[in-house]
Chains A and B, each alone.
Chain A
């Protein structure tokens, strides 16, 4: 194994040389730790790398350049809404008044942040048609757990103890069934209808006195609006169950559909999808949850309360005994919420245009791919759509994974692949509203060109990517013989590659 290719980097451990470092804080007085009992002290210092700042900077700048990112290029990762992340939002979150505020500062010292959080709750309630919103969940999946736990508490409070099942369509995000399990409930997977939508009859058959909730993503993970949602919600409520909406795809329906008005009882949002907070290489996000009237008593604590005099405060511990309690420490991913608030204020009444343009872009891109790829659902999509390389595979042997890797050579991040599982050789493509028509056309041209290459030069696609820092990886060995950390720290023992 050669340790690095031309653009690859040695690890921090390999860069380390004993004795290097940058002075950051003053040296402590001698004996500062004498009062710590010897058996509680660390005998050997942690073997952290020793680098000076210029090396730290080179390391991380060079590493960063191995990433594809929204700031470097088109990133049509379906279901993730990789829209532009406004720079003013980053500035806002770093304002010392926000960034330096201690989470246990008393309410009177935190009025600015509390007001922002309260206003953000109001904005999100207006957008979703929900009665109230909690900002506590740190991400969508934690929001899902929050929502389902509130559903459980609601049923339990009514003495309705037998509701142990959550119905989930088979096209759902994996977080939905995983959430049901964490909430101590059993997942019932309901197959989708042939048109890609929820199969209302199959749901009706599965609904019953043991149904706690139905979790629906709308638009679905196929990028399709669930046109029969009204019927489905009626059926859910008729058996006494509640309806959860996975709001991952909210970017499609801003100003067009308010889940609370339509009859959903609870939903989560992903600020890092719809409201432009950065994805951060995997996080942080924030997963606010909106609820209808029935679930307001169960919202996590503490909530932000607005007093009659216009001041704000956090609920005291135990103030609202019906609450499901805490999901995390303090009040939430506040720094993320500042960015989401900035986004909403910068859009205001123009928010509906976000969805209009996102949906227009997705439909236009889908239209451009007709004839080159299978488009299994012949109806307008919302903000994303599923294309399939199933036909291409039958004709040429080229699979979705190959198309994805070849896209990298054209300078694009591949779409989400092999999801949803219900479509063979799926590519879930989401262009978002912040990409220009030129970019969308260039991406369509690339995909069309790859489909042509599949006929003429399939080997070129199979061996792609040719231009990325590394080629395709040996994932099997990584899983069979996990190497999850460096060993033999310090540059003395490891060769430092050049």
Chain B
């Protein structure tokens, strides 16, 4: 066994102490009829072989592409310091700080995470942590029902479809009715939550609403009328849940400023690798009024017997190991190490660095919009966005596939993300971040123009054609 320290003498000594001949005797309590068939596994890989196997698998993934995919996971620069610090075994090989005297590092770091996220969201209570943005959103929806003792939740269709799907799973399980708020079809507000429809859904007094969920920015990248949505929710006695992206909070109004009672979101953009979907960081924050409804870990400041400042897990009566079937959630293991990564990221960047990340992404996105429009792919929606938006591309899925061969991950085809929405069937959801380079934008736009040109008016796949397109894009992005 690779990491087993026992020598044959050690084993013999332990067996002798127990007065037995073989370890098999310790398994005599497994009824013979229920004993396992032999394990059909390959021989162990020595480390050098294991490294080859894993490197081979990793090499089968394509991460060389100019990446414009967002849709809930974003390619950001992760400062070297984040991983260097995470790799200290004192962090990643510890567990839940049940024994606070030997866990003050983890406990203080969680208290600091709560404080940092409180500053970002403008809400005072932050739990540390949830599985991802989807699970945090589902937990937020359940919180609104516990607090209001109502059993109906409205979710904007502009909330990420995976979050809506996870919320559906959790809410169905709890017997809570959930309905989607449609989006505005056309006009200047196209693609954002339909406030009139929301008002109509709330008007049914026999079916009072516990919570209204909307996302800022929305899954389509658009800025939503969050203050108005919150006002409508509160007017009907419902709570308002804002689903947020944390980097954007450096420059966009925070949930606390527009009256959200709960903020949920995906913390991946805060220094966490894409890693094909996880492990990520579920952000969940709320007001002091709802502190006893929030699930997940909370760390508070206190003192020790000598009067020294110290930190400890607190308000534990919400948690499953104390409260069992009456707990606020079944969550136990969470995403603590990712909360630590987010904290280190925020400490390293500071308020100005984070603002620069958000603003640089916005600037690159504007360049991308101009370049794609010049290439023949205009935006689908007219409203303001931060760093992600949808463009219209005929036969988007096929074009997306062909662009892979040209080294471009051309965003996310909306037909795969939102298969139920025909209005975006020919849309590509594209994003830019501070990592997006002008060269990548040029590569994407040129390849797209070529594809669209070849589909429409014969082949542009010539050096001259490409140069012409590049010139057009250069002009457009200047």
Q: Tell me whether B307 and A2 are in contact (CB under 8 A).
A: yes
Residue of B17, B90, B96, B108 near A282 (CB, 8 A) is B96
The 6 A-B residue pairs whose C-beta atoms are closest, nearest first, are A330-B277, A71-B89, A97-B58, A280-B337, A282-B336, A112-B60
Known interface pairs A49-B347, A174-B323; A329-B104 also in contact (CB < 8 Å): no
B contact residues around A138 at 8 Å (CB)? 131-132, 135, 278-279, 335
Q: Which candidate, A201-209, A288-296, A317-325, A390-398, is the interface stretch facing chain B?
A: A317-325
Q: Would you call B44 and A174 a contact (CB within 8 A)? A: no
Chain B residues with CB under 8 Å of A144's CB are: 330
> Which of B72, B96, B174 has the most chain A CB atoms closer than 10 A to its own CB?
B96
Q: Does B141 contact A (CB under 8 A)?
A: no
Chain A 475-498, CB-CB to B under 8 Å as 1, else 0, gives 101110011111001000000000
- Residues from chain A with Cβ under 8 Å of B253 in the complex: 39-43
Rounded to whole angstroms, the CA-CA distance of A482 and B272 in the bound complex is: 29
A340 CB, nearest partner CB in chain B, Å: 12
Contact of B90 among A41, A64, A475 (CB under 8 A): A64
Is the Cβ of B257 less than 8 Å from the Cβ of A42? yes
A357 and B1 in contact, given A5-B308, A33-B359 (Cβ under 8 angstroms): yes
Instruction: Give residues 294-341 of B contacting A (CB, 8 Å).
Output: 297-310, 312, 314-316, 319-327, 329-338, 340
7 contacts between A and B (CB under 8 A): A36-B362, A57-B84, A66-B102, A95-B54, A98-B61, A173-B332, A350-B1
Q: Does A251 have its Cβ within 8 Å of any Cβ on chain B?
A: no
- Give min CB distance, A319 to chain B, whole Å: 10
Compute how far the CA of A334 lies from the CA of B175 in the bound complex, rounded to whole angstroms: 30
Does B290 sit within 8 A of A, measured CB to CB? no
Asked whether A306 is an interface residue with its Cβ less than 8 Å from the other chain, the reply is no
Residues of chain A contacted by B464 (CB below 8 angstroms): none
What chain B residues lie within 8 Å of A94 (beta carbons)?
Answer: 83, 273
* A101: chain B residues within 8 A (beta carbon): 61, 63, 274-276
Residue among B36, B305, B320 facing the most chain A CB atoms (10 A cut-off): B36
Supposing A181-B327, A281-B337 touch, asked if A97 and B305 sit within 8 A by C-beta, the answer is no
In whole angstroms, what is the CA distance A180 to B330 when docked?
A: 9
Is there contact, CB below 8 Å, between B73 and A12?
no
Spot the interface stretch: A24-32, A237-245, A452-460: A24-32
New A-B contacts (9) at CB < 8 Å, excluding given A13-B115, A283-B129: A48-B116, A50-B351, A71-B89, A103-B276, A112-B57, A346-B47, A350-B2, A360-B26, A484-B291
Find out whether the CB atom of A483 lies under 8 angstroms from the CB atom of B17: no
Within the complex, the shortest CB–CB distance from A479 to chain B, in Å, comes to 5
B169, A327: Cβ atoms closer than 8 Å: yes
User: Measured between C-beta atoms, what is the minimum distance from B418 to chain A in Å?
Assistant: 9
The answer to whether A331 touches B276 (Cβ under 8 A) is yes
Establish whether residues A67 and B18, one from each chain, have CB atoms under 8 Å apart when the complex forms: no
Measured CB to CB, the closest approach of chain B to A473, in angstroms, equals 5
Least Cβ–Cβ distance between A455 and chain B, in angstroms: 24
B249 at the A interface (CB under 8 A): yes
- Report whether B102 and A67 are in contact in the complex, using a CB–CB cutoff of 8 Å: yes
Interface contact B4-A353, CB-CB below 8 Å: yes
A99 within 8 A of B: yes
Assess the A328–B43 pair: CB atoms within 8 A.
Answer: no
- Are A484 and B298 within 8 A (Cβ)? yes
Q: Is the CB of A261 within 8 A of B36?
A: yes
How distant is B452 from chain A, measured CB to nearest CB, in Å?
A: 19
Q: Is the CB of A470 within 8 A of B308?
A: yes
Residue ID in chain B nearest A263 by CB atoms: B34
B221 at the interface (CB under 8 A from A): no
Q: Which residues of B contact A35 (CB under 8 A)?
A: 362, 366, 384
Can you name the residue of chain A whose Cβ is closest to the Cβ of B56? A112
Partner of B330, one of A95, A145, A230, A405: A145
Docked CA distance A186–B3 (Å): 43
Please give the distance in Å from B295's CB to the nearest CB on chain A.
10
A356 part of interface (Cβ distance < 8 Å): yes
Chain B CB within 8 A of A279 CB: yes
Task: Tell me whether A357 and B95 are in contact (CB under 8 A).
Answer: no
CB distance from B362 to the nearest CB of A (A): 5
| Chain A contact residue count (CB 8 A cutoff) | 211
Cβ-based interface call for A85 (8 A): yes
Q: Which of B69, B120, B297, B404 contacts A46 (CB 8 A)?
A: B120
Interface string of B79-117 (1 = CB under 8 A from A): 101011101111111111111111111101111101110
Whether A56 and B348, one on each chain, are in contact in the complex, defined by CB atoms closer than 8 angstroms, is yes
Asked if A427 is an interface residue, CB under 8 A from chain B, the answer is no
Residue B179 at the A interface, CB < 8 A?
no
Is B55 positioned at the interface, with any CB of A under 8 Å from its CB?
yes
Closest chain A CB from B387 CB (angstroms): 10
CA distance A25 to B320 in the complex (A): 42
Cα A7 to Cα B227 in complex, Å, equals 46
- Check A325 against B168 for contact (C-beta < 8 Å): yes
Assess whether B384 is in contact with A468, with CB atoms less than 8 Å apart.
no
Chain B residues contacting A485 (CB-CB under 8 Å) are: 111, 114-115, 118, 124-126
CB distance from A190 to the nearest CB of B (A): 13
Known contacts A180-B325, A484-B298; decide if A329 and B166 are in contact (CB<8 Å): yes
A-B contact count, CB below 8 Å?
A: 720
Write the B1-26 contact mask toward A (1 if CB under 8 angstroms, else 0).
Answer: 11111100011011101100001011
A32, A35, A129, A257: residue with the most chain B Cβ atoms closer than 10 Å = A32
Query: In the complex, which of the residues A33, A61, A92, A473 contacts B303, with contact meaning CB atoms closer than 8 Å?
Result: A473
Return chain B residues, CB-CB under 8 Å to A126: 39-41
Contact B274 A363 (CB under 8 A): no
1/0 per residue, CB under 8 A from A, across B46-85: the answer is 1100110111111111110101010111010101010111
CB contact under 8 A between A270 and B1, given known A69-B93, A380-B25, A485-B111: no
Q: Which of A242-264 contact B (CB under 8 A)?
A: 253-258, 261-262
| Interface residues as binary, A79-118 with B (CB distance below 8 Å gives 1, 0 otherwise) | 0101111101011111111111111111011111101100
Q: Which of A100, A348, A413 interacts with B273 by CB under 8 Å?
A: A100
Rounded to whole angstroms, the CA-CA distance of A76 and B382 in the bound complex is 59
Complex: how many Å from CA A91 to CA B161?
A: 33
B350 close to A51 (CB less than 8 A): yes
The answer to whether B441 has its CB under 8 Å from any CB of chain A is no
Query: Which chain B residues lie closer than 8 Å to A336 at the CB level?
Result: 278-279
User: Is B37 interfacial (CB 8 A cutoff)?
Assistant: yes
Which of the 9-residue segments B205-213, B409-417, B443-451 touches chain A?
A: B409-417
Closest A residue to B338 by CB, please name it.
A284
From residue 171 to 185 of chain A, which have CB atoms closer than 8 A to chain B?
A: 173-175, 177-184
Which of B88, B302, B327 meets A475, CB within 8 Å? Answer: B302
Q: In the docked arrangement, what's the CA distance between A399 and B404, Å?
A: 65
Which chain B residue shows the least CB distance to A186? B325
Q: Smallest CB–CB gap between B2 and chain A, Å?
A: 5
CB atoms of A103 and B112 under 8 A apart: no
The answer to whether the Cβ of A305 comes within 8 Å of any Cβ in the partner chain is: no
Contact B96 A281 (CB under 8 A): yes
Report if B238 contacts A (CB, 8 A): no
Task: Give complex CA distance A186, B120 in Å.
Answer: 39
Any A CB within 8 A of the CB of B349: yes
Closest to B363 in A: A32
Decide if B61 touches A346 in the complex (CB within 8 Å).
no
Chain A min CB distance to B205 (Å)? 26
Contact A331 B332 (CB under 8 A): no
- Tell whether, in the assembled complex, residue B60 and residue A482 are in contact, meaning their CB atoms are under 8 Å apart: no
How many Å from the CB of B422 to the closest CB on chain A?
Answer: 14
Query: B417-449: contact bitstring with A at CB < 8 Å (1 yes, 0 no)?
Result: 101000000000000001000000000000000
CB–CB B30/A257 < 8 A? yes
B60 touches A115 (CB 8 A): yes
Q: Can you name the residue of chain B whose Cβ is closest to the Cβ of A109?
A: B62
Q: Smallest distance from the beta carbon of B17 to chain A beta carbons, Å?
A: 6
Q: Are A40 and B252 in contact (CB under 8 A)?
A: yes
Contact between A482 and B105, CB atoms less than 8 A apart: no
* A53-B81, A69-B91, A327-B169 given; A348·B44 CB < 8 A: yes
A357 to B40, CA, bound (A): 20
A217 contacts the other chain (Cβ, under 8 Å)?
A: no
Q: Given the complex of chains A and B, what is the CA–CA distance between A230 and B30 in angstroms? A: 10
A58 to chain B, nearest CB (A): 11
